[in-house]
Structure 1
Amino acid sequence: MFLLFCFLSSCFLIFTTARFRRSSCQAATLPPGPPRLPIIGNIHQIGQNPHRSLADLSKTYGPIMSLKLGCLNSVVIGSPEAAREVLKTHDQILSGRKSTNSIRSINHHEASVAWLPPSSARWRLLRKLSASLMFSPQRIEATKALRMKKMQELVNFVSESSEREEAVDISRVSFITVLNIISNILFSVDFGSYDSKTSNEFQDTVIGTMEAAGKPDAADYFPFLGFLDLQGNRKSMKHCTERLFRVFRGFMDAKIALRNESTDVSNIDFLDSLLALTQGDESEIDSNDIEHLLLDMFAAGTDTTSSTVEWAMAELLKNPKRMAKAQAEIDSVVGQNGVVKETDISEMPYLQAVVKETLRLHPAVPLLLPREAEGDVEILGFTVPKDAQVLVNVWAIGRDPNVWENPTRFEPERFLGKEIDVKGKDCELTPFGAGRRICPGLPLAVKIVALMLASLLYSFDWKLPNGVVSEDLDMEETFGITLHKTNTLHAIPVKKRAIIL
């Protein structure tokens, strides 16, 4: 017995010593990071605006930084070089998803193109359907007339406000415009109305979904606390998404009921195409897949696009000379009594620079969606351990003084004559991500933002209400998955020319 005890003790000692050496070796190659408190680690240093607090920490600990957030190992990326390693060089091993507690509360991580791992067949199918049925060049071209129609409706509404000398809620009208574009592509109907409170409720629901998904949650750091829902994120997520799912189910039921009564195939929308795939014994998708795919389209397509338009208008109102420069370019391309068309945008390099500069300063998803390392991987000489959460702080990269001159100033001119773009090849400007996880809706989003911005600037001059001067314009932001302007932008339109109805 004594010899057996000695043998087992020796084995235990050898095992623990080897394990300690391995962990010590790994710890020695982990990215640097701030000191950690017992149990909570670095949670106290995150705050309500993680993109800002993490950017501040990176100034001390470098462009690749490790944090311990409760039980969660996290690595924060804060430079273009490190971002390129994550988004391109090691994209395959770092393209998993670290889903949040609120996302798991509705099982969205099991049926979402945004949250499923790319290694799964389900992700590949949903990604293919999104690309081919909604975001392919052919589909985007087919919906050009729809976008033009919705822009004219926007201009008409703003014109009526101008006649009454009323301030326009830029956040609301841009959201309704994008909402109706997306809802027509998906369901062939308008979801929003500029004169209806229902549109406000829909906007609040979508924003509530994004905030619940993105706000810091104790259960993400200590999974055993999930059932307590201390921040109320699970409750908020379930409430918001159930409202959306009820709307989706209503359209699905109506289309299924009419399927055998109509033979018209000239106006097939996204939902029609998806429902066709549910037919037969070997159907590729079911109604649950459709609900979650539609949730992705609404959450990712409406809120992010409309908030970018609002930030762009806010920056231009804060910089009147640059607004005048953008308007002069639009006037020179469109003429004095025309209508802005999508084909005009390619002839407006300054407007395109305005959009890029807005996305640099105000990326819609400032930390992108959290990635998960599917194995140990070396980034710039440091080890990112398996199962670690990887956050790419595109907000910090966009304001890095080592990358950008006058990084906090709104200067669209910095992009003139340069090839840098937002399509994922330039890692100093990747608001839509890059690699396999790049946002599939990027081509449509960029078209809508530029067209809406050009339409508002062509038809109207703009001024701030209540005697607010441009220098004092509030630019406070609220963090969720998307970055919103805390206080929505209101501006008074002044009609420049007759509006073509």
Structure 2
Amino acid sequence: MGNLCQISSIFTLLLLSLEMFISWSWWFEGHSQVRDKVVRTILTVFVPTLLLLWYKKSKAQLPPGPYGLPIVGYLPFLRSNVQEKFIEMAHKYGPIFCLQLGSKLHVVVNSMDLVKVVTHDLDQTFANRNPKLSALTISYGGLNVVWSNKAYWRKMRRILVSQVMSNTNLNACQTFRTHEVRKMVNEVYTKTGTKVNINEIAFETELNVVTSMLWGNSKSGEKNDCGDMLDGFREVEFKIVQLLGAPNISDFIPWLSWFDLQGIQREMHKQWVHLDKIFDNIIEARITANAKKMEGAVDEDGRKDFLQIMLELKDQTDTLSSLNIDQIKALLMDMVVAATDTVSTMVEWVMAEILNHPRIMREVQDELTEVVGMNNIVEESHMVKLTYLDAVIKETLRLHPATPFLIPRCTDETSVVGGYTIPKGSIVYINVWGIHHDPKNWTNPLEFKPERFIKSGKWDYKGNNMEFLPFGSGRRICPGVPLAEKMLMYILASLLHSFEWSLPKDEEFELSHKFANVTRKSKPLIAIPFQRLPETSLYF
């Protein structure tokens, strides 16, 4: 009788938790058919399994955290404002806390000292990934740098860093950046006095630079091999980023993954098919050209683009360097998606903050006038002298970090952090958003004050200063930082030196966030450019 009562109690708790989960979770709003399907599936198929696997209390001392419900854990209580919720929890539970989300334990690290433990002292232990199903779909099963693990990750990162992000290669590609940024300035000039979408122009510029480096004809100014195939790519990428950030019940309760109840994997597969077709066409065209010994893969100085280098690695017998076609496409996906999205998003945020602070805009433009001159255009050689603009960019990255929790890590063995046990397989978030907004780390943290980055020379993007981690730290730091830094400075300096900017009077200006994997503006930034330089010839 006691067992029956216990089973009855468990079943009642299960029903209550399911009801709360389905009714409270934000991703089922407006999807009643999906909601009903979830309930039927769990009750008719998975109840026995879930009851057998119901929470077992661990003898280890886990980090503190809120209680959840059977089966679903704390999932029903999370809302879309995860950043604010985690900050509240950090105030309540301290520098590290945990949440049971479905079947997986999630640990959130909020203090500089503990971030250093995770990203430096125990970096190797915390260097794995636990990819979402949508991430596995778009990355050819985790074959890229972002989502791969351990030895395989080291191989792919080494190839990416040595062949694309090295100083030698970035310097060799300067003509691509110069050509595309000047083309951007000319395009904006044609729209003088009219509304311009800042994210859109930055995205197109960065996309052209990246594709030129990866597979474009190496002679500056000539059209990329992909022709018009990348038309509409911005919308595809936005969809990819949205799907990567969408909460998916299949990730939290793996037994449901086969059903893809929210359709996230199916939708991501559509985006993958679109990009995979582009990559196939580009690769096949290059292989054909190589077979006919045609020009295009090598420029007049003998420099090879990234695709040519990878195709040559494909033919090697050395397993440490060899690549197959899917690995090549996974690396292309990494560069095209990650580089373009991050840079265009941050250009938009920087311009938004500058437009919101006229004094700061005047100081940035005064510096540009002094360094560049009103009868000259911005060159990359000017970048090292633009200390105030650099401080403005860093302050923007502090207030609006591109990835507020970075890419979650996963432990490959049980470890101790801050006196608490972190079980093997736990998913670990580094709360960059919280650290960047913590009054213990920053005076008046909500104030936009670029001057705080000028007073000391310790600020950079290498992840050694735990107060400032916009691109991460340790071995999992973003490998694309060198290109992102160059393009952010170059695009912004060119836009601010060549044009005066104003906000449309008929549109409301705001700085609110739209949180996902990437911190976007809730409303796109629309601004109006006006000619600033005296000579019209400088715009052509």
TM-score after normalising by structure 2:
0.83
Structure 2 match to 1:288: 326
Give the structure 2 partner of residue 180 of structure 1. Answer: 208
**C-alpha distance in structure 2 between counterparts of 1:261 and 1:333, whole Å:** 48
Counterpart of 1:416? 454
Measure how far apart 1:87 and its partner are: 1.1
Which secondary structure does the structure 1 equivalent of 2:527 belong to? strand
* SS of residue matched to 1:259: helix
2:82 paired with 1:50: yes
Cα displacement (A) at 1:298: 1.2
| Whole-Å separation in 2 of the counterparts to 1:495 and 1:229 | 52
Distance 1:192 1:432 in 2: 32
CA–CA separation in structure 2 for the residues paired with 1:55 and 1:327 = 36
Whether contact under 8 Å (1:48, 1:216) holds in the other structure is no
The 3 A distance-change label for structure 1 pair 107 and 441 is closer
Indicate conservation of the 8 Å contact 2:441/2:467, yes or no. Answer: yes
Shift of 1:344: 1.1
> 2:161 aligned to 131, 137, 156, which one?
131
Amino acid at match of 2:74: N
Match of 2:181 among 151, 155, 162: 151
1:281 Cα offset (Å)? 5.5
| 1:476 has 2:512 as partner | yes
Question: For each residue in 1:34-68, what CA deviation from the matched residue of structure 2 results, as whole angstroms up to 9, or x when unmatched?
Answer: 12222221112332232332222222112211110
Matched, 1:350 2:350: no
Match of 2:421?
Answer: 383
1:147, 1:105 → 2: CA distance? 31
Structure 2 counterpart SS, 1:110? coil
1:244 aligns with 2:262: no
Report if the CA contact (8 A) 2:236-2:271 is conserved.
Answer: yes
Residue equivalent to 1:257: 288
CA, structure 1 residues 191+168, in 2 after alignment: closer, same or farther (shift >3 Å)?
farther
Correspondence for 1:278: 314
Relative to structure 1, the CA distance from residue 492 to residue 199 in structure 2 (aligned partners, 3 Å threshold; closer, same or farther) is farther
Q: Is contact 1:76-1:391 (8 Å) kept? A: yes
**What displacement does 1:197 show?**
10
What is the alpha-carbon distance in structure 2 between the residues aligned to residue 281 and residue 199 of structure 1? 33
Unmatched tracts of structure 1, length 5 or more: 1-21
From 262, 265, 270, the counterpart of 1:234: 265
CA distance in 1, matches of 2:163, 2:81: 36
SS in 1 for 2:484: helix
| Residue identity opposite 2:405 in structure 1 | L
Deviation at 1:278, TM superposition (A): 1.4
Residue of structure 2 in register with 1:449 after alignment: 488
Which segments of 5 or more consecutive residues in structure 2 lack a partner in the other structure? Answer: 1-55
Q: 1:432 aligns with which of 471, 485, 489?
A: 471
SS in 2 for 1:462: strand
Against the structure 1 CA distance between its residues 24 and 258, is the aligned structure 2 distance closer, same or farther, given a 3 Å change threshold?
closer
Are 2:435 and 1:407 aligned? Answer: no
SS of corresponding position for 2:214: helix
Query: Is the alpha carbon distance of 1:166 and 1:198 closer, same or farther for their aligned partners in structure 2, counting shifts above 3 Å?
Result: farther
Deviation of 1:255 (Å): 0.4
Matched, 1:360 2:360: no
Corresponding residue to 2:527 among 470, 491, 498: 491
**Greater Cα offset, 446-455 or 201-210:** 201-210
TM-fit CA distance, 1:360: 0.8
Which stretch shows the higher mean deviation, 262-271 or 230-239?
Answer: 262-271
The alpha carbon displacement at 1:303 in A equals 0.3
Pairing partner for 2:371 from 308, 312, 333: 333
The CA distance in 2 between the partners of 1:341 and 1:273, in whole Å, is: 29
Question: What secondary structure, in the 3-state scheme, does the structure 1 residue paired with 2:514 have?
Answer: strand
Q: CA deviation at 1:235?
A: 1.7
- How much has 1:267 moved relative to structure 2? 4.6
- 2:229 and 2:278 in contact (8 A); partners too: no
The answer to whether the aligner puts 1:64 opposite 2:96 as a matched pair is yes
Q: Is the 8 A contact 2:368 2:497 kept in 1?
A: yes
- In the alignment, what sits opposite 1:322? 360
Deviation at 1:282, TM superposition (A): 5.6
Aligned-partner Cα distance in 2 for 1:198–1:257: 18
> For the Cα contact (< 8 Å) 2:140–2:326, is it kept in 1?
no
Q: For residues 135 and 24 of structure 1, what CA distance do their matches in structure 2 show?
A: 44
Conserved 8 A contact 2:134-2:243: yes
Q: CA deviation at 1:157?
A: 0.7
Give the aligned partner of residue 4 of structure 1: none
The alignment yields a C-alpha RMSD, in angstroms, of 2.1
What amino acid is aligned across from residue 449 of structure 1 in structure 2? L
Residue of structure 2 in register with 1:13 after alignment: none
- Does residue 141 (structure 1) correspond to residue 180 (structure 2)? The answer is no
Task: Please give the per-residue CA displacement for 1:317-373, whole angstroms capped at 9, x wherever unaligned.
Answer: 111111111111111110111111122111111111111111111111111111101
